[in-house]
Amino acid sequence: MDTIDEEAAAKVAVDHLDLWYGDFQALKDISLTMPEGKVTAMIGPSGCGKSTLLRTLNRMCDLAEAVRHEGSVTVDGTDVFGVDPNELRLKVGMVFQHPNPFPMSIKDNVCYGPRRHAEVSHADLDELTETSLRRAGLWDEVKDDLSHDALGLSGGQQQRLCIARAIAMGPEVLLMDEPTSALDPISTGMVEELMRELSRDHTVIVVTHNMQQATRVSDKCAFFLLGELVEAGPTPELFAHPKDKRTEDYLTGRFG
Amino acid sequence: MADVTSVPSQAVRAARHARRIAAQDRFATGVLTAIVGLVLAVLVAIVGYILVNGAGKLFDVSFLTSKPEQFRAGGGIGPELFNSFYLLVLTLVISVPVSLGAAVFLAEYAPDNAATTVAKTAIETLSSLPSIVVGLFGFLFFVLQCGWGFSILSGSLALTMFNIPILVRTIQQALEAVPRTQRDAGLALGLTKWETTIHVLLPAAMPAIVTGVVLSAGRVFGEAAALIYTAGQSAPALDFLNFDLTSASCPWNVFRPAETLAVHIWKINSEGVVPDLEAVSNGTAAVLMVCILAFNLLARWAGKAIARRLTAE
């Protein structure tokens, strides 16, 4: 059994989840827990269902047509399908594969969510902007011109801005869908470092194509194949001693 | 085996093929350039002809402000000019909000089912409806059935029918062009679909929407057929100090008949008896064209300015 799960409580728990897009079954009987305050990585070849599972955790999967599911997904013991999706997303933030800042200033991007959801004073917003940008490791690069257009930033800066925008909402869980696949190696390194730091205050769940990335950033790792969860466990253990032949084949590059 | 020598070698055939496709390329380029040249020549000829013939009247302030004459020379197009703009503004005031609502619904909310397909097809059909048909419908319904007579109200409602399908399509396309990632970003921040639409998608689509609205304004401004039987072919003299909304000479009265520039051109050419008919007609055409040109330039400028403001703040 997972040794991590015994140390840290499960923040997110997926229990016997099946999910279909129309007739296509994208997830088959998935049971997995994501420990609180840790980074959980989900790996596997394209189309294996890892992104679908990630998008189920904040119910972004609801957006597709004809989606149905069986089984349960809980955050802090609360069934995500039983709460309002917009409320759920305040608690479960998300960062996407391609940086998607809004076409507005850096500060407006960070303050966007909080402004929409709560009455916040200007002073609070200034402070929130600074803390969020600092925590996203972007503050020093942009502090002199917060009114600068966010689309004028580099790809890596835009992605860190999107992270700042997500954490400004104070989410407990942060989902990251291949957050570095559109970035250069230096920006990738920065974002990976961020994931480690963010996991002190947030439960981070990351989907990645990059197995080295999974070993660098994650505490727990889950390997998916064709909609099935093949194997999950503490990252070092999974990489060093995979229990399943398919995991071993994938990790050693024999297919994928 | 005599045939073998007459079959060209691989290299010779390849070279021949390369020459042939190069010639095809030159030929196609030549034909396409000629076609574009022809289109441009026609355009320049029409615009030039109208401007040259109407130049004398175009800068004549009294022509632009005075009322038309029935029998004498020297009449102006003041009321027609005002009517054109007033009808345009009323039409936009009605059609923009309706189109915006319909487009947002179709682009963001409408489920992908038979009813939506029917609605989309209906809108496309309506956008290619001949304007004279819209005009006759307006005559039967607004003018006669509703009893509003030849009036600005009847005219602007007919123009609205004519304008809505085009606007809906433009706005819908503008919304659909906003990348999916922007929608995801909004929703992932816990915004509702409505908030995402209002605060993320509409601002992002705004430059294209404004351009579309202004371009449609150009079409509406120059429309004649839909107005002949709805807004009427007479232009009562207007008294801008008259605020009695029931009076025919009150400019703002929506129940008065209102001939526009385009209708004026049609009318004086078909039944005008003034001696300077040709000069008036040419002058009106030039004014109309300059206005539409101005709308097009404004559309470009406004679209760019809004895009700049949205991204530069």
Q: Which of B165, B180, B57 is nearest to B119 (CA)?
A: B165
The pLDDT value given to residue A5 = 46
Residue pointed to by tokens 């509003």: B148
The pLDDT value given to residue B303 = 82
Domain boundaries, chain B: 3-55, 60-312
Half-sphere exposure of B105 (CA within 13 A, CB side): 12
The pLDDT value given to residue B1 = 47
Residue B251 dihedral angles phi and psi, to the nearest 5° = -60, -30
User: Which residue in A has a C-alpha nearest to residue B183's C-alpha?
Assistant: A100
Residue pointed to by tokens 């004809």: A66
Domains of chain A: 3-251 (3.40.50.300)
- Separation CA A198–CA B5 (nearest Å): 77
**Distances in Å between the alpha carbon of B138 and those of B126, B142, B164, B246, B275?**
14, 5, 15, 22, 33
Whether B2 and chain A come into contact, CB under 8 Å, resolves to no
Residue A26 dihedral angles phi and psi, to the nearest 5° = -90, -30
**Distances in Å between the alpha carbon of B303 and those of A7, A41, B32, B206, B300?**
57, 44, 30, 8, 5
Angstroms from A103 CA to nearest CA on chain B: 5
Residues B239-254 as b or e (16 or more Cβ within 10 Å = b): eeeeeeeeeeebbebb
For A137-162, the pLDDT digits (tens) are 899 999 998 988 898 899 999 999 99
Kindly give, in sequence order, each residue whose CB lies less than 8 Å from that of residue A83, ignoring residues fewer than 6 positions away. none
Whether B185 and chain A come into contact, CB under 8 Å, resolves to yes
Q: What's the first-to-final CA gap in chain A, in angstroms?
A: 26
Give this complex's ipTM.
Answer: 0.85
Angstroms from B196 CA to nearest CA on chain A: 10
CATH topology of domain B60-312: MetI-like fold (1.10.3720)
Helix-helix angle B78-104:B277-312, to 10 degrees: 40
Kindly give, in sequence order, each residue whose CB lies less than 8 Å from that of residue A223, ignoring residues fewer than 6 positions away. A43, A44, A229, A230, A231, A232, A238, A242, A244, A246, A247, A250, A251
The pLDDT value given to residue A2 = 46
**Beta carbons of B204 and A100 less than 8 Å apart:** no
The pLDDT value given to residue A1 = 42
Q: What does the pLDDT profile of chain B (313 residues) look like in tens digits?
A: 455 556 778 888 899 999 999 999 999 999 999 999 999 999 999 999 999 998 888 888 888 888 888 888 888 888 899 999 999 999 999 999 999 999 999 998 888 888 889 988 998 888 888 989 999 999 999 999 999 989 999 999 999 998 999 999 999 999 999 998 999 999 999 888 898 898 889 988 988 899 889 889 988 998 999 999 998 888 777 777 777 777 777 888 888 888 899 999 999 888 888 888 888 899 999 999 999 889 888 888 888 888 777 665 4
Residues A120-155 as b or e (16 or more Cβ within 10 Å = b): eeeeebeebbbebbebbbbbebbeeebeebbeebee
Residue pointed to by tokens 């330039």: B297
Tokens of B68: 């038309």
**Beta carbons of A98 and B312 less than 8 Å apart:** no
| Contact predicate A251/A44, CB 8 Å | no
Across the 256 residues of chain A, what is the mean pLDDT of every consecutive 10-residue run?
A: 58 93 90 94 90 92 80 92 90 93 91 83 87 91 90 91 93 93 88 91 93 93 93 93 90 73
Q: What number of C-beta contacts closer than 8 Å exist between A and B?
A: 66
Angstroms from A241 CA to nearest CA on chain B: 36
Whether B278 and chain A come into contact, CB under 8 Å, resolves to no
Angstroms from B189 CA to nearest CA on chain A: 6
For A163-175, the pLDDT digits (tens) are 999 999 989 999 9
Residue B191: list chain A partners with CB under 8 A: 86, 113, 116
Tokens of B131: 């304007």
Whether B180 and chain A come into contact, CB under 8 Å, resolves to no
User: Which residue in B has a C-alpha nearest to residue A175's C-alpha?
Assistant: B188
**Beta carbons of A103 and B310 less than 8 Å apart:** yes
User: Which residue in A has a C-alpha nearest to residue B200's C-alpha?
Assistant: A102
The pLDDT value given to residue B22 = 93
User: Which residue in B has a C-alpha nearest to residue A91's C-alpha?
Assistant: B190
Please return the burial class of A18, using the count of CB atoms within 10 Å of its CB with bins 0-12, 13-18 and 19+.
middle
Measured between CB atoms, which of B181, B185, B313 is closest to A105?
B313
Residue-level length of chain A = 256
Residue numbers of B between 189 and 208 with CB closer than 8 Å to A: 189-192, 195, 199-200, 203-204
For B147-182, the pLDDT digits (tens) are 998 999 999 999 999 899 999 999 999 999 999 899
Tokens of A8: 């840290």
